[in-house]
Structure 1
Amino acid sequence: MKIAVKLFLIIYIITNQSLLSQDNNKPKLVVGIVIDQMRAEYLYRFQENYSENGFKKLMTDGFHVKNVHYNYTPTSTGPGHASIYTGTTPSNHGVIGNNWLDRKSGKEMYCSEDNTVYKIDMDNADINATAYARSPKKLLVTTITDELKLFTNKRSKVIGVSIKDRGAILPAGHLADYAFWYNSKNGNFITSSYYSKKLPKWLETFNNNKVADSLLNSVWNTLLPIDKYVNSSADNASFEKIFNGKEDAAFPYDLKRLRKQNNDYGLISEIPFGNTLVTKMAKAALIGERLGKGKETDFLAISYSSTDYVGHNFGIRSKELEDTYVRMDREIESLLTTLDKEIGKENYILFITADHAARDNPIYLENMRLPGAFYSPLDIKKSLNEHLSQEFGGTNYVEYVGKSQIYINKTLSNREKVLKSAKSFLMKQEVVKEVCIPSLSTSLCNSFMENGYHSKRSGDLLISYNFGWMTDMKFGTTHGSSSNNDTHVPLLWYGHNISKGETIKPYSITQIVPTLSFLLNIPLPNASNNVPIFELFK
C-alpha cells in the first residue's frame, strides 16, 4: 500500500509539473504594434538618435526580419491592417482600399463603415451619429485575434487601440471585446455599439483626465537639438504643409495657439503627440482590462497613426518626420517598460510592423535629378470619359477612380469593347505602367494586381503607375503603389521564446499570422497563408 501511494504521488507530481510547464510555455499576452507608414529604413536612418531601450533593444534582443514586403496593391491603411491580421490579401479578406465603390448603391464605401451600429461616447449613445458607425463587418475572413477567441472559448481578451477607427477595428477582428479609437470632435476615445452599449469605467476615467487637451496645449519642438537631426533635409522645405496661423513649416509649433485654426482636437493626429496619446491609452487598456492576468493568452493590438499623418503632411525627408520617429522610439521604450513591469519580460510576445511604407515627393525627386512626377486622378477620369464618349457616344462612362482601379458604368451593353478601348487609351498615358482587365481571360494581371483584386468589390480596370509618380498633392507624401518604397516595411519580434537574430530571407506581410498561429499553437485563420517565418522556430 505504501509503495502504491508513493507511486501515485510521484505520478501526480510529474503530471502536474508537466501541465504547469505546458501552461508556462504560452505567453500571457501578445502585443501587435502597427506603425502607420513606417519604412523599413527608418530603423537605421534615424538610429543614432534612438535610445538604447526602444527600437535598438528590439533589434538587439529580438528577432529582425529585414526583408518583409507587401505583395498587393493598393498599399493603404485599411488593406494593410486587414492583411497583417488575417494573413491573406485583399483578394480574400475583401478590404481592397480605405474606400471603394459599392456597386449596389453606387456610393463610395468606407472599409469599417456600418450603419447598423452607432457610436458609444461619454454622453448618451447617439444612434444618428453615422460618422462613427463602425464595425469589422466589411472584413470577410477571420483574423488571428478571432481564432484566439475561438480557441479559448472567448476566455482570451482582445482589445484594439488606435487614433484611426480602422487601425483599431480590423486588427481586433470580429470577436474582440473592444476596439477603441479617437473622437476628433472632443478628444475622447470611443467605441461603437457593435462591442458594447457603454464605455468601461476605466475609459471614462481616462477620458475625464483630458489627456488630449494637455498635449494640445503644449509646444511641439524637436525632442533633441535640431542640429542632431542630420538624416533629414533642411527644415521648412517647399513641399511641407504650413498649418493655418503659421507662416512656415518650421519648428517650433505653438499648439495651444494653432489648435483652434487646425481642427482643434483633430490636430493631435497630425503631430507626434498623437502617438503619445495612443501609448497612454494602450497602457490604460492594459491595466483597466487586466490583460495578461488570466489563465489564457490575451491580445492587445495597437496602431500608431500620427506617423502617417506627419508623413502625408511633411514628407519622408522632413525634420518633422525625423523628430516623430525619435519620439516614436521613446513611445516604444515607455511601452516596453510598462509591459515588463505589468506582465513580465518573458511573459509576452511583441511584434512591430507597418501597414505600408511611403515614397518621396516628386518635387524632391526633381531637385535630386531623379525620375518622378505628379498625375491627377481627376484628369485621368475626365480624359478617359472624353475618349470613350468620342468613340462610343454618350457620357458618364467612368463611375469612380480609386488609387489603383477604375470602375466603368455597369449598365453598358457593350462593356467588353469599352473596357478594351479604355485599356488601350490608358496605356498611352505617360504615367501608366500597366493596365489589367480582370474580367477578360485574355487580360493577364501581375501578382500585385491579382492579390489586390476582389471580384465582388474591385474595379473593372486595375492600374499600375510608373515608379516615382504620385497623385497631385500640395505637400508631403503618399503611398499605394507596388514599388519597394511603398511595400518594404519593418518586422521586429521580441519576448517569450523569441531568440535573438535576424534574417534577410524574403517574406511577405501575410506570414506574420501563420508565425503567430504556430507560436501560440492555435488554428490558422480561415484564409491565411500557412507558411511561417521559419527562423523563429529554430
Structure 2
Amino acid sequence: MKFAPPIAAALALLAASPATAQQAPAPAPAAAPTSPPNLVVVISVDQFSADLFAEYRAQFTGGLARLMSGVVFPSGYQSHAATETCPGHSTILSGARPWRTGIVANEWVDFNAPRADKKVYCAEDESVPGSDSDSYTVSDKHLKVPTLGEWMKLADPATRVVSVAGKDRAAVMMGGHKVDELWWWNGKAFVSYAGRTAPAMVTRMNANVTARIGEAQAPMALPAFCQARSRAIRLGATKTVGDGRFARTAGNAGAFRASPEFDEAILALGAGVATDMKLGQGGHTDLLILGASATDYVGHTFGTEGSEMCIQMFALDQTLGKLFAVLDKTGVDYAVALTADHGGHDLPERHDEHAAPTAARMDRALDPKAAGAEIAAKLGIAGNPLRGSAAGDIYVDPVLPKAQRDKVLAEAMRRYAAHPQVHGVYTRAQILATPRPTTPPETWTMLERARESFDPSRSGDFVVALKPRVTSIADPMGRSVATHGSFWDYDRRVPILFWRKGMTGFEQPLSVETVDIAPTLAALVKVPVPVEIDGRCLDLDAGPGDSCR
C-alpha cells in the first residue's frame, strides 16, 4: 500500500546518490558470522511499547518483519520509574540506569540554576548566558557516563559514530560525548552543535523537508487492518481523535512532526549521512544511531490506539524496510538493535469504552503549583514552597528554614498520600534507604523502581506515583491528549530486537532490560566494557555457543 503522497524524494535521495548506486547487495552468508560486523545500527523508536509491538507484530511485512526473523525479546524493560524520553535514551547505549547516568527526568529543578524558574533540561548547558528553559543550548554535559560509541572509540580511535534523531535528547543521550556527526530536528530543520559544518546530505534533506512542509498533505491511505480501529473519540465540545489520517494544511510543521513523514525524513537523513561517509567500509566497526521520534508525537497527539497509531505502525515498518534496503546496497555487513525509550498509555476517554475502572485525567489539585499554594496558605508561608511534576519528582524550596521545610514536606506528604488518584508517595530518605534491586524487573517494588531513577544531586525531596491509568495530562484540549512517565509496566515494557544476516533467530519471552543492549553489542564487536554498568550481555546465539564470551 502506498501513502498519498509520501515525503517528496526522502529516501529516493539515497537511491540516486553515487555512494549507493555503485554498490551491489551482499549475498547472505551461509552461516552466522563469527567476526565483528563492520557497522552496528541502533534504532530507538520513541514510545514503541511492548503492547504496541504485540498488537501489530502480525501485520509487519517490512523492516520490523526482518528484525523479527532475528533475536526477539518481547519483554524488555526500561525498568526505572522515570519512564520519560531522556532517562530512557540514556540507558540504551550506556548500560546504566538513570541513577548512574544522572538523567533522572526530561527536566529537573536546580535551585542554583541561573534562571527564574530553576528548571534544567536534561540535554542543555544552563550556564550559557541568556539561556532559559524554552531557549537552551543543547549539550551532553549532564550525561554522567560514557556510551557504546565511546567504548568503541577507546578500543579503536578510528571508529566513527553518527547519531541522528527527531529529538535533541535522543541524539545526545545515545550518541554520548564523542560523536563524529550528531543531528536532530529543532522544529524547523535538522541542526547540530554550534560550529559544525552540515554535510551535503543534511543540506539536501533540510531543503527537501522545508518544501514538503510547505505542501498540504492529503489524507493517508487507511490499511484494511486499521479500519476497525478508526473511531472518533470526543474530547470536549470541539476536539476529536481516533479517526484521523494525517491530512494537514500547508506550512504546518507541528502536524508534520506528528506524522509518519517525520520518521521517513529522520531515517533517510541517517542513512544518507552513513552512505556518504561510507560507514562500515573503512576496515573498522562504525556505529550508526537513529532516533525515530514520530511514534511518540503520534501517541501524545492522538493516543496509542485509533487510526492514527495504526497508520504510524504500518508506515514505520515500511520505512524501516526502505532503510535496510539502502544499507543492503552498500554491501556492508551490519547488525541492528532496535528498542524504545519507554512505552505509552492511551487516553482515558478511550479507556472508558473498555470500562477501565481507574482510567481518568489527573486532578488539577495534584499539580505542585496548586498544592504548594494551599500549603503555603495553611502554614503562613510567603511564596510557593513546591516545584516539580505531579507525576514524578517534587522539590521543597531549600531557602525555607529547616523547621518550615519539614512542615511543608509533612503536609505535602499527607495531602498527596490521601488523594484517591495517588498510589504512593516516597521521600528522598525512603528511596535512598532502599537497596538496589537484584531480581527481574517485573518483580521490583515501587521503591525499587524509584531507586533506579534517583540521583541525590538532581532528584526531588519526594516522588509521587499516580495510580494505574491515571493520565498526568489534566486538560486534553492542548497539544497532548495522552502520555507516559509512570511507574507502571505499560510505560516500562518495550521490545528489544537484534538482527544480522546469517543470525539464527529465536524468541526469548523472559524479561531483559534496555541496559543489556550496550554490553551485548560490545561483546558482538569484541570491545571491552571499560566502566561499571548495570546491564549484562545477552546471548544472541541459539546454538551451543555463547556470544557473550
TM-score, normalised to structure 1, is: 0.84
Which residue in 1 is equivalent to 2:122? 111
The residue that corresponds to 1:70 in the other structure is 78
Q: 439-448 or 269-278, which moves further after superposition?
A: 439-448
Contact preservation (8 Å) 1:115, 1:130: no
Do the aligned residues in 1 keep the contact of 2:76 with 2:511 (CA within 8 Å)? Answer: yes
- Tell me the equivalent position of 1:19: none
> Are the structure 2 counterparts of residues 24 and 503 from structure 1 closer, same or farther at C-alpha, using a change threshold of 3 Å?
closer
> 1:484, CA displacement in angstroms?
1.4
Q: Secondary structure at the match of 2:533?
A: coil
CA apart distance, 1:465: 1.0
CA contact (8 A) 1:240 1:476 kept: no
Q: Is the 8 A contact 2:74 2:496 kept in 1?
A: yes
Deviations along 1:201-259, one digit per CA (max 9) or x if unpaired, are 34234434x2342365253534444x431562x3332149989xxx987445443xx24
Counterpart in 1 of 2:485? 480
- Bigger Cα displacement from structure 2, 389-398 vs 407-416: 389-398
Q: Is the CA contact 1:219–1:253 (under 8 Å) kept in the aligned structure 2? A: yes
Pairwise CA distance, 1:197 = 3.4
Asked if the contact 1:86–1:142 (Cα under 8 Å) also holds between the matched residues in 2, the reply is: yes
Question: Which residue, out of 319, 330, 334, partners 2:318?
Answer: 330
Q: How many residue pairs were aligned?
A: 489
CA-based RMSD: 2.9
Which of these residues, 150, 160, 163, is aligned with residue 160 of structure 1? Answer: 163
Distance 1:383 1:270, change over 3 A: closer
> Which residue number in structure 2 is paired with residue 176 of structure 1?
179
Tell me the alpha carbon deviations over residues 17-58 of structure 1, each in whole angstroms, 9 at most, x when there is no partner: xxxxxx98111111000001012233342245432x321221
Q: Percent identity between the aligned chains? A: 25
Distance 1:294 1:426 in 2: 58
SS for the counterpart of 2:429 is coil
**2:496 is the counterpart of 1:491:** yes
Letter in 2 for 1:134: V
Distance between the aligned counterparts of 1:28 and 1:490, measured in 2?
A: 25
Match of 1:284 in 2: 272
| Higher Cα radius of gyration | 1
Task: List per-residue Cα deviations over 1:318-366 (Å, max 9, x = no partner).
Answer: 101100110000011111111111143xx11101101111112111222
Equivalent position amino acid for 2:184 in 1 = W
Contact 2:84 2:105 in 1 (8 A): yes
Counterpart CA distance in 1 for 2:243 and 2:136 is 34
Give the 3-state SS of the residue equivalent to 1:214 in structure 2: helix
Note the residue ranges of structure 1 that are not aligned, 5 or more in a row: 1-22, 119-125
One-letter amino acid of the counterpart of residue 499, structure 2 = Y
1:39 match: 49
Asked if 1:363 is matched to 2:349, the reply is yes
CA distance in 2, matches of 1:192, 1:331: 27
Quote the offset at 1:380 in angstroms.
3.5
- The letter of the residue matching 1:93 is T
Deviations 1:417-472 (A, max 9, x none): 43233212211011111111113689757111101111000110111111111111
Picking from 145, 157, 163, the partner of 1:141 is 145
Q: Secondary structure at the match of 1:446?
A: helix
The 5 Å alignment of 1:402-441 reads: 403-412=391-400, 413-414=402-403, 415-439=405-429
Is residue 98–residue 452 contact of structure 2 (8 Å, CA) maintained in 1? yes
**Correspondence list, 1:94-493, <5 A:** 94-105=102-113, 107-114=118-125, 131=135, 133-153=137-157, 155-185=158-188, 188-193=189-194, 196-208=195-207, 210-214=208-212, 217-225=215-223, 227-230=224-227, 232=229, 234-239=230-235, 250-255=243-248, 258-260=249-251, 264-344=252-332, 347-371=333-357, 372-376=359-363, 379-386=366-373, 388-389=375-376, 392-395=379-382, 396-401=384-389, 403-412=391-400, 413-414=402-403, 415-439=405-429, 446-471=447-472, 472-474=474-476, 476-493=481-498
Does the CA-based 8 Å contact 1:517-1:523 persist in structure 2? Answer: yes
- Tell me, what secondary structure is at the counterpart of 1:88? coil
- Higher mean C-alpha deviation, range 376-385 or range 330-339: 376-385
Paired with 2:410 and 2:141, the residues of 1 have a C-alpha distance of: 34
Match of 1:91 among 99, 111, 123: 99
C-alpha distance 151-182 of structure 1, shift in aligned 2 (>3 A): same
Structure 1 residues 116 and 391 mapped into 2: Cα distance closer, same or farther (>3 Å)?
closer
Residue-by-residue CA offset, 1:133-183 (whole Å, 9 max, x unaligned): 212111111111111111112x11101111211121111110011210113
Letter in 1 for 2:297: Y
How far, CA to CA, are the matches of 1:366 and 1:77 in structure 2? 27
**1:503 aligns with one of 508, 511, 520:** 508
Structure 2 counterpart of 1:11: none
Residues 301-326 of structure 1 deviation map (CA, whole Å, 9 limit, x = unaligned): 00111111111111111101100110
CA contact under 8 A between 2:213 and 2:250: conserved in structure 1? no
Cα deviation per residue 1:374-413 (whole Å; 9 max; x = unaligned)? 1146643245325533553214221333531111111222
Distance of aligned partners of 1:434 and 1:521 in 2 relative to their CA distance in 1, 3 Å threshold? same
Structure 2: distance between partners of 1:529 and 1:441: 18
Kindly provide the amino acid, as one letter, of the partner of residue 392 in structure 1. L
TM-score scaled by structure 2? 0.82
User: Would the aligned equivalents of 2:168 and 2:185 in 1 still touch at CA under 8 Å?
Assistant: yes
CA contact (8 A) 1:43 1:55 kept: no
